[in-house]
Structure formats: structure tokens, C-alpha cells
Structure 1
């Protein structure tokens, strides 16, 4: 092949593409408006708002394209990146800094991540169960937790569980009942669990004190920040409590 032919062949080849940000293999053609993105995400994150997306953009977790008029446009890859961030916040209570470090690693190809299927969520943000959703009656709660209905009554009497005015319970009460039942197998009954509830409420009060100044601000970004900080603090409190219990149990065990 002559030199000129080689030059022509090289000119015909597309230039090597720059390393894509994660996720790879998904369209990066930005044609989605913010309303389209919210519609795509709200099946799994019903509480997400445009202010939340702007807040994540401010923290460099997402970079939408700006049109000449200044409007934001997103690609399907951007939506999956947002979905990852929101899942890490919801499911693992990770701080934004840690999520950002994870995304940097994914961008660099240091670690891989398989996109999970979307999980349906109720209007209050609680993940739906395959059969039915919403608040639970005492009978339904006992059935789903596979415990005698008497245990529900004992937990309510002890103040461990607090039903709503209509007598129904939030879906997360199921986990509390199941844990209470497991502790009961070791002789730890409902009255012993009041201290757990009291300790948790003191921690929630502390979180509320920290978040109150943010929640009192009028900007949508500040309110979104308040929710993020509350989730992070809640997870840190839970981890600290776990660390104290594990350390104490280590001293008890032979």
C-alpha cells in the first residue's frame, strides 16, 4: 500500500473515543428534559424533585448538558447515574462524598457495577411488596412477621410499637416485630425493648437539632440537603450504636 493510500485509510478511521464516564454502553445522547428524568425515576423514587437533581449536580455527581437557552438536558446514561446515586443514599445511607468516590472508581474502570432492576415504591417512598402495599393492620403485621398476634399487643403496650390513629402500622414495623420475636426466643421480652426505643428517639432528637437550621431555609436546595444530612446522620448513629454493642458483647463472650 502506498504512503498516500495509508494516509487516506487512517483519515477514514474514526478518532479513538475518549474514555466514557460510567455507565458505559448506554446512550449519552442528551435529549431528555428534567420532567422526563423525574418521570423515569419516580417509579422507584417518588420523592425525587428537580431541586434534588440540581443539588446532586452542585455536588458534581451528574453533569447535564446545557442548551444555548440554559436548559438542562439529560441522556439515558445520566438517568442511570442518578439512579445509582439515589439507591446508594436510600439503601446504604452513604454520604455524597463516598458516592462520588465510588463513581470516580467506576469512571476509571477500577470496579464494576451491575445495574439492578428498579424497585417499585409507594407514595411515601417505602418499597412496595409484590402483593399489596401501604399500612398494615395488626393481624396483617402478625401474619407477615410470622408471629402470634399477642406479640403485637405486647409491643404496643410496652410502647415499642406505636400504631397510627387508625390502628394501622407503617411497613417498617414488620422488621421491628421480627427482631423482637428473635430476641424473645432468648427471654428478652417486650418490656425490655422500651430502652431500645427510648435510645433511638434520643438519637432522632439529636439529628433533628442538627438538621433544623437547614430545614428552616427557604431554598429547595437546602431542603434537599437537609434530607441527605438526616439520612447520613441516622446511619452514623446506627453504626455507632452497633459498634458499642459489639464491643460490649466481645467483653461478655468467653
Structure 2
């Protein structure tokens, strides 16, 4: 006997506490991308089964906790459809936990390359077009050099910007962070340059130094907040 089904409004009410940014338009977008396929009543209304709701919850968790692009999520869903076990979705690490918040946001833990067009970045990060324009106007977010797509750094800044707004931190605060980042980047460049004999060494050494600087920066911030 088939289990109960829900309308799209009921699904929203069920998942909204865990995913506050969820909207009907976002659910429909995921459907248009072929990630969800709920049944339709003769009247045309969507009918979400328990399996459909679980599938949607998995998609939203992948986006929220791992910032995974739709291409990767689709691959995971195909594994599920074949009866295989997809990679585990790790919950966000609390500040001060092993690895720290910087690991959860992807710093020092490279993932597969992210290439997002403008609309994809907006959908994945949960910000509005106006908010992205504002971030770009202050050069807080930009496309990769010489490209028309955004990388993982842009996604991370957009997500952080959206979440920080809930605590009263806006673009003005992010500009201060950008200025600090520019100073740290300059310091890293000056530090790395004398140690690079071959061009291919530059990326590896810069990555190592950057990770150490970021870990030290995070530790100092936590230390200042505790005193």
C-alpha cells in the first residue's frame, strides 16, 4: 500500500525549519534540472512521496553542508538510484572543533573544481541578484581571471555573506575582511617569492604557506575572543 503523499506546500512546511532559505521556486528549479520527479495528480498538482522528500532533503543537505554543485549531486543521486552507497554528507563542523570552521568552508581541504555561471551561483548560495551585484561592486566576489564563470572562492564568500547578514554583518564588514585578506595575500607573496626556483613550485609552496597563515589567523581570532 503506497504511503502518504504531500503537496509542495506541505513539503516546504516540513523542511523549512532545517532549510530556512528553501522556496517553492527552488524546489521547482531542482525538478527542472531532473533531480526530483514527483508524481502529478490529474489536476497537475505535484504529489511528493516520502522517498521524494528524503531525496530533496539529501540534495539540500549536500548544498548546505558541502557546497556541492548540481553536477556532483546528480552523480550521487544516480548512485542511489543504482542501489549504490553515495559519499557521506558531512555535517558542518562547529567553530573550535577538529579541523575548525575553515575546514568546513573548504579552506585547506580542496574539493573538485567548481565552475558556476551567474544564475548557478545565485541559486547555490541563496543570495539575491541585488546582493551579488553589491558584492561585485565592492570587488568581494568576481569571476575567475579571464573567464566568465565563478569558482569555489566566490561561492564561499556568497554563502558567508548570506549567513553573516543574520548576525548584522553586511558588505561594510566584508570590505574590512577583504582589506585584511589583501594584506595577508601580499605578505604571502613576499614570503614565497625567495623560495621559488621553478614556476611549478610556486603553487605548491604558496598553498602550504597560505594554509599555515589561515590557521594562525583563525587561532589568533579565537584567542582574542576568549579574553
TM-score (norm 2): 0.45
Relative contact order (C-alpha < 8 Å, sep 6+): which is higher?
1
TM-score (norm 1): 0.41
